[in-house]
Chains A and B, each alone.
Chain A
Amino acid sequence: MRAEPTAIFKTLRDPTRRALFERLSREGELTVHALTAPSGVSQPAVSKHLNSLKLAGLVRDRRDGRETYYRARPEGLTPLFDWLKFFATFWQSRFDRLEDLLKRMDR
């Protein structure tokens, strides 16, 4: 699933979602129960946050019996890195043009 960088920014701006994503990145596949335990957030809230992460393409889920397992999709961050890379190049070239302009303004 592809997500816009804006969706990824928005999704990860929430500290609880960020914590969930960090934890999945660190620890691999975990159940909703395991993710709920130390979070200080109710299970329905955790499920909702996980769903937002899923919609943003940052986690995937798998059902096994009564449990739903989640794992991080680090490749889901690629649109974010592409966005950053595009604008880094864009602004470098605009800085060059700005400097050229400033030199011309000097005359």
Chain B
Amino acid sequence: MTNTATEALSVVVEREIPFPAEKIWRALTQPHLIEEWLMENDFKPAVGHRFDLRADWGSVDCKVLAVEPKKTLSYTWDAMGLESVVTWTLTPTSTGTHLRMEQSGFRPDQQQAYQGAKYGWQKFFAGLERVVGGLS
């Protein structure tokens, strides 16, 4: 079951993609391919590597946090003073791959706080919904 209350605090996009994880992984990690669907970049799949994503409207500062080939890729995403973390998860299915992207406003070095926060957020949003109704 998806926890919508928790996910309300992050942006989650999930899709069933009719291609193997190996191929999607290439599109997520090879600079010339990344450029075709995301932005110009100097990405390298190495933990700690800093890179930029560049577009005509500006650039995004990133740093690779986690690389697990064909499974997980995670990098920071700092743009216009907003710090966040983008995490890709690839899960093989019978027809291809389940691809999940989560962008969250939590910092990775706060993993423990983040885990602790998950439960709190759930309560937080439940409470908030009761109080402010249609705001979101």
A-side residues, CB < 8 A to B, are 4-6, 8-9, 12-13, 15, 18-19, 21-22, 25-26, 72, 74-75, 77-78, 80-81, 83-84, 87-88, 91-92, 94-95, 97-102, 105-106
Does A101 contact B131, Cβ atoms closer than 8 Å?
no
Q: Decide: A97 near B13, CB < 8 A? Known: A25-B132, A26-B130, A102-B19.
A: no
Does A4 contact B82, Cβ atoms closer than 8 Å?
yes
CB-defined A-B contacts under 8 Å, sample of 19:
A6-B82, A15-B117, A18-B120, A18-B124, A19-B120, A26-B127, A74-B132, A74-B135, A81-B136, A84-B11, A91-B13, A91-B101, A92-B13, A94-B38, A95-B101, A99-B15, A101-B36, A102-B19, A105-B27
- Contact partners of B38 in chain A: CB under 8 A: 94, 97-98
Does B17 contact A97, Cβ atoms closer than 8 Å?
no
Bound together, the chains give a CA A94 to CA B33 distance in angstroms of 13
Judge if B106 is at the interface, Cβ distance under 8 Å. yes
* Chain B 71-107 near chain A by CB (<8 Å), digits 1 or 0: 0000000000111100000000000000101010110
Distance between B28 CB and nearest chain A CB, rounded to angstroms? 8
Closest 7 CB pairs of A and B: A9-B105, A97-B37, A74-B132, A98-B37, A87-B11, A91-B13, A25-B131
> Considering only CB atoms, which chain A residue lies closest to B119 in the complex?
A15
- Contact partners of A6 in chain B: CB under 8 A: 81-84, 105
